[in-house]
Structure 1
Amino acid sequence: MYSDSTHSNHDEKLTTADDVNDLRSAIALLKQHPGQYLETDRPVDPNAELAGVYRYIGAGGTVKRPTRLGPAMMFNSIKGYPGSRVLVGVHASRERAALLLGCQPHELAFHMARAVKQPLEPVDVPAEQAPCQEQVFLASDPAFDLRKLLPAPTNTPLDAGPFFCLGLVLASDPQEALTDVTIHRLCVQGRDELSMFLATGRHIEVFRQKAEAAGKPLPVTINMGLDPAIYIGACFEAPTTPFGYNELSVAGALRGRPVELVPGVAVPERAIARAEIVIEGELLPNVRVKEDQNTHSGHAMPEFPGYCGDANPSLPVIKVKAVTMRRQAILQTLVGPGEEHTTLAGIPTEASIYNAVEAALPGFLQNVYAHTAGGGKFLAVLQVKKRSANDEGRQGQAALIALATYSELKNVIVVDEDVDPFDSNDVLWAMTTRYQGDVSTTFLPGIRGHQLDPSQMPDYSPSIRERGISCKTIFDCTVPWALKDRFERAPFMDVDPRPFAPSLFE
C-alpha cells in the first residue's frame, strides 16, 4: 500500500527547520508538507529493485529517462531483512533541501556561504546521550555478518556489490589533532569487510597514507541516517574548506548548535551521536581488494555523470569491528546519478563560488547554480549584473574565479540578471539569443578535471594527455554593455495573478 504521508493532527506542535537535529526530526518536517514524503509497505528487494522503483518516483538528475523529481520515499518492508527500513531521496530536490535548511530554494548558495564562514565546532556527549548506540553488534561475535544485518542496496544489476551510498566517514589525522568527514563509495565485500574508494587529495586519504606509512590501521566510523545539514555541509571541498577544517562545523553553523559526537564502542574514534546507523572499523595498512571481487561485473555503481563507473582493481579495506544503531533504525541511501547528488555536491559548490567571486568582485555575482546536468560538479550557471561600462569583461573574470575555486568544474555559462539561472529554458534562451560561438566562447585546454567524466580520456581526443585532463569552457551569454538597450525583454505588465487563479498559488 502506498501512502502520501502528511501531517494531519493540527493540535500537535509543528516541526520547523529549527527543530531538526537528526533524520527523524527531518522526516517529521517533511511529513507536514504535501508531496515531500512517501511511504510504502510493499516488499522490495534491495538488490536493484529499490533503486529501480525510485528511478520513476523521484530520482531525477542524470538518471536515464524516464525519471522525475518527486518525494523522499521510505520502504518499510525489505526482502530478507525483517524489521529494516530504507529511506531514499531526502536530498533529491532543491525545494526539499531549502525546506530542511530553513531558507528559500534560490537562497541556498547564500545560506551555505554564510555558514562556511561561521563554523561551530562539534562537541562530545556521553554514550547515554547517543541514540546511535541503543543497539550494539560486535564483529567478534561469530554470528555477526554485515551482509545479513544491514540491507545495503545495489543501484543496478551491474553493480560490484551492495553499496552504502551515504556513508559519511569520520577519521582523524594520526599525527595531528585534525578530524575530517567525507562521503565515500563503500562496497560490502564480506561478513566484516568493506572496500573504500578514496579520491586523491581527499583529507581522509591523507590520514590513511600517514597511518599506512607507519604500518598502522586508521580507525574510522561510517555514519548513516543523519540530519540533512550534516550531509550537505560535509560536501564542501578545498580550497573553501582547507586541510584541517572540520566540515561538521558547517552543520553546526546551519543549525545554530554543535553536532554531537560520541566515542566509538570498538575503535578509538568518534561517531555522530544522533546517527541512525554507525559502522565502526579500521582502514587496514597495505591491504587491497578488487572492488568487484564477488561479482566480476567490471562495474562499480552508477556515478553522478549518469554512467556506471568502472570497478576499481585495488581499493583499501575497512575491517569492521562493530555496528551500532538506533532502535528501528533507518538505512538512508541515494540513487547514484540522481538529483540527490546535485543537492549534496552542488549547493556547497555554489556557496564556494559565490564567496570567492564576491570577495574579488563585490556585488557583481547575483546567484549561481551548479546545474543538475553536471551532477552539481561539472556545470555552473553564473548570473551577473553589469552596472556600468567598467563591468564589461568581468563576466569572464567571474567565470575564471569559479573554475579556480572548484577544480572539478568543466563548463561555465554566464547570464545577465534578467535570466533565471535555475531555469534551463531561460539559460538556453540566453545562449540562443545572446551568444555567438566564435566570439563568446573561451577555451582553456589541458586543465585537470574529474576522472569520472568519460570524455576526459586520451582515446576521446588526442588533445587530452591523460585521464582527467579537460578543456574547460566559458560560454558568455551576457549582452555587451553597449548594446543593453537593444536586448530588453518584452515588458509585460506586473500584476498579482493570485486573485484570478488562487488554487495555483496555494
Structure 2
Amino acid sequence: MNQINDLRSALELLRNLPGQLAETDVPVDPMAELAGVYRYVGAGGTVMRPTKEGPAMIFNNIKGHPGARIAIGLLASRDRVAALFGCKPQQLSRTLLEAVEHPIPPVLTAKVPPCQQVVHLASDPDFDLRTLIPAPTNTPVDAGPYLTLGMCYATHPDTGESDVTIHRMCILGRDELSIFFTPGIRHIGAMALRAEELGRPLPISISIGVDPVIEISSCFEPPTTPLGFDELSIAGALRGEPVQMCRCLTVEEKAIANAEYVLEGEIIPGVRVTEDCNTHTGYAMPEFPGYTGPSSSECCLIKVKAVTHRENPIMQTCIGPSEEHVSMTGICTEASILAMAEKAMPGKLTNICCPSSGGGKYMAVLQFKKSVPSDEGRQRQAALLAFAAFSELKHVFLVDEDVDCFDMKDVFWAMSTRFQADQDVIAIPGVRCHPLDPSNDPGFSPSIRDHGIACKAIFDCTVPYDQKARFKRAEFLEVDPSRWLEKTAGSPQWQEVKACAQND
C-alpha cells in the first residue's frame, strides 16, 4: 500500500482504486450547491433519501475562489476507510483499538512545514477568512460557511497536556469564527472553560486537510481517551510513525505540519456569539442525526491571527449527516465498546457495528457468542457495558455470531425470528444521552425530565442458549463461484461476489 501521511497521498491511493475517486472541473457554488451535488453522488449516512454510497470527489472549479479545490467524501465508505487504513472493513475497530493500546506520540519537526508554504497575517489589510477559505455550506439555510473537518488542537492551561478534536466552526467575519462545544463532552471545551476561569485566551490551531487516520482518531472520547490523552498518538500508531507537528507563527501552539490549511488563533474568554448573526436563518447546519439544528447563541469566539497553507491547497469538507460522520465517530465507538467488553468478558463480543442509521453514535449492533450455558444473560451485560463505555449511545441490538452485524438486513432478520418484544426489550429510562437528538426532549415525551435525557433500550435478538439447535440457519454447499462467473469478471456484480467470498 502507498505510504499515507497527508491528504494528498490519501487521494493518490484512492485514484488507483476503481470507483473510489471522482474529479470534476465543472464550476460549482460552495454555498449549498456543492453539498447538493454530493448528496446524490455519495453522501449516504442519515442524509435524506435519495442518497447513496459512492466515490469521494474533488471539485476543481469553485465559484468565488479562483484556484481553490475542495475534496469531500474521503471517509464516506467503510470500505474506503479500510483501504486508507490498510485493513479489512470488519477489522477497523480492532485495528483502532490496538493503536489506542500502543500509542506513538506526535513529534515537533525541525523542517519548514508544508502547511506554512504560504502565510496570511490578520494584520494585513486584505486579510479575510471569507475569501481565503473556500468553506461551503451544506444547505441554503445554514448559518454561514462552516469548517466541518478542522482538527482543533489546544493545550490545557494547568496541565500542559494537548488534545485534538473536531468541532463545527462558522466563519463570522474577516478574522472571526464561532466554535460550538457540546456541553460536557469534548476536551477542548473543558480547556477553554478553564482558560476563561483564569481570565486568559486559549491558543488554538485548526488544521484542515490531513491524513484521514487523524480525522478518525480525533473522534475518540472518554473513557477510552480521558482528558490529557492526545489522540494524535493513536494516528501515529496506525501509521507506525509519529504525526509531524510544527510551531504556529502567531500563537503559542502547535499544528499538524502536513495539513493543507492551518488557522491560528485564540478562543476569547467571556465572549459568546450566535452562529447565524449574519444570516439570521435560525439554523446552524445539518448535524449527524439528519436534522438541521437551531443556531446556538452560546458559541465561543475564535479570533484568528493567521492563515497558513500549502501551495495550491485542497480544502476538505464533509456533509454533516453523511457517512463520513458515521465512519469518524462510529468506528471509534466500536473500538471503545470492544475495549471495555474484552476486559470484562474476553472473547465473548466477537464484533460490533455502529451503523449509518444511528449516525455512528446512537446505535450499536453487538455480535455475541454464547459458548456455555452460563453465557446466557451475559449478552445483556455486554450491552450495559456498551452504554457505560459510550454515554451518547441510545439503542443496542444484540445478535448471535451467525448474524452479520454489519448488514442491517440480517440484523432485522434476527429481530423478526429471534425476538419477542414483551421479553426482549429492556428499557432504561431517564439516562443522559445526546442533546442533538430532537426526541430527547420533554416536548416529545412527558417521561423525559430535561433536554438531552433519553430512554435507552436493549433489543436482545439472540437465541437462548438452550434453544440454539432449533435456530440453526440453513447451510449451503461451499463452492468457488468464479468458475460460473468468469465472463462477468470485472463487472460490479462480480466484484460484489468476490468480496462476499473473501469476507466469508
- TM-score tier, shorter chain, comes to over 0.9
Secondary structure, aligned partner of 2:190: helix
Match of 1:161 in 2: 144
Q: TM-score scaled to structure 2, two decimals?
A: 0.96
Match of 2:366 in 1: 382
Secondary structure, aligned partner of 2:50: coil
Q: One-letter code of the match for 2:471?
A: F
Matches within 5 A, 1:83-482: 83-128=67-112, 130-201=113-184, 202-482=186-466
**How far does residue 287 in structure 1 lie from its aligned partner after superposition?**
1.2
Q: Distance in 1 between matches of 2:134 and 2:313?
A: 11
Secondary structure, aligned partner of 1:498: helix
Q: Distance in 1 between matches of 2:347 and 2:190?
A: 37
**How far does residue 275 in structure 1 lie from its aligned partner after superposition?**
0.4
**How far does residue 175 in structure 1 lie from its aligned partner after superposition?**
1.7
Equivalent position to 2:26, from 26, 42, 60: 42
Secondary structure, aligned partner of 2:360: coil
Match of 2:501 in 1: none
Q: Distance in 2 between matches of 1:468 and 1:458?
A: 9
Secondary structure, aligned partner of 2:479: coil
**Does the CA contact (< 8 Å) of 1:235 and 1:348 recur in 2?**
yes
**How far does residue 230 in structure 1 lie from its aligned partner after superposition?**
0.5
Match of 1:65 in 2: 49
**How far does residue 127 in structure 1 lie from its aligned partner after superposition?**
4.7
Secondary structure, aligned partner of 1:241: coil
Q: Deviations over 1:352-401 (max 9, x none)?
A: 00111011011100100011101100000000110011111011000000
What is the number of equivalent residue pairs in this alignment? 489
5+ residue gaps in structure 1?
A: 1-15
Q: One-letter code of the match for 1:409?
A: L
**Does the CA contact (< 8 Å) of 1:42 and 1:77 recur in 2?**
yes
Match of 2:475 in 1: 491
**How far does residue 167 in structure 1 lie from its aligned partner after superposition?**
0.7
**How far does residue 142 in structure 1 lie from its aligned partner after superposition?**
0.6
Q: Distance in 2 between matches of 1:360 and 1:245?
A: 23
Match of 1:7 in 2: none
Match of 2:502 in 1: none
5+ residue gaps in structure 2?
A: 499-504
**How far does residue 53 in structure 1 lie from its aligned partner after superposition?**
0.1
**Does the CA contact (< 8 Å) of 1:226 and 1:274 recur in 2?**
yes
Q: Distance in 2 between matches of 1:456 and 1:437?
A: 22
Q: One-letter code of the match for 2:293?
A: G
Q: Distance in 2 between matches of 1:263 and 1:115?
A: 26
Q: Distance in 2 between matches of 1:279 and 1:499?
A: 56
**How far does residue 66 in structure 1 lie from its aligned partner after superposition?**
0.3
Q: Deviations over 1:74-114 (max 9, x none)?
A: 00000010000000000000000000000000100110111
Secondary structure, aligned partner of 1:499: helix
**How far does residue 126 in structure 1 lie from its aligned partner after superposition?**
2.5
**Does the CA contact (< 8 Å) of 1:127 and 1:263 recur in 2?**
no
**Does the CA contact (< 8 Å) of 1:62 and 1:304 recur in 2?**
yes
Secondary structure, aligned partner of 1:432: helix
Match of 1:8 in 2: none
Q: Distance in 1 between matches of 2:193 and 2:285?
A: 25
Q: Distance in 1 between matches of 2:340 and 2:483?
A: 42
Q: One-letter code of the match for 1:189?
A: L
Secondary structure, aligned partner of 2:482: coil
Q: Distance in 1 between matches of 2:111 and 2:169?
A: 26
Q: Distance in 2 between matches of 1:482 and 1:284?
A: 62
Match of 1:10 in 2: none
**Does the CA contact (< 8 Å) of 1:61 and 1:337 recur in 2?**
yes
**Does the CA contact (< 8 Å) of 1:84 and 1:330 recur in 2?**
yes
Q: Distance in 1 between matches of 2:353 and 2:118?
A: 41
Structure 1 stretches of 4+ moved >6 Å: none
Q: Distance in 2 between matches of 1:20 and 1:493?
A: 41
**Does the CA contact (< 8 Å) of 1:127 and 1:133 recur in 2?**
no
Q: Distance in 2 between matches of 1:436 and 1:415?
A: 13
Q: TM-score scaled to structure 1, two decimals?
A: 0.96
**Does the CA contact (< 8 Å) of 1:223 and 1:275 recur in 2?**
yes
Secondary structure, aligned partner of 2:316: strand
Q: Distance in 1 between matches of 2:370 and 2:485?
A: 36
Secondary structure, aligned partner of 2:207: strand
Q: One-letter code of the match for 1:322?
A: A
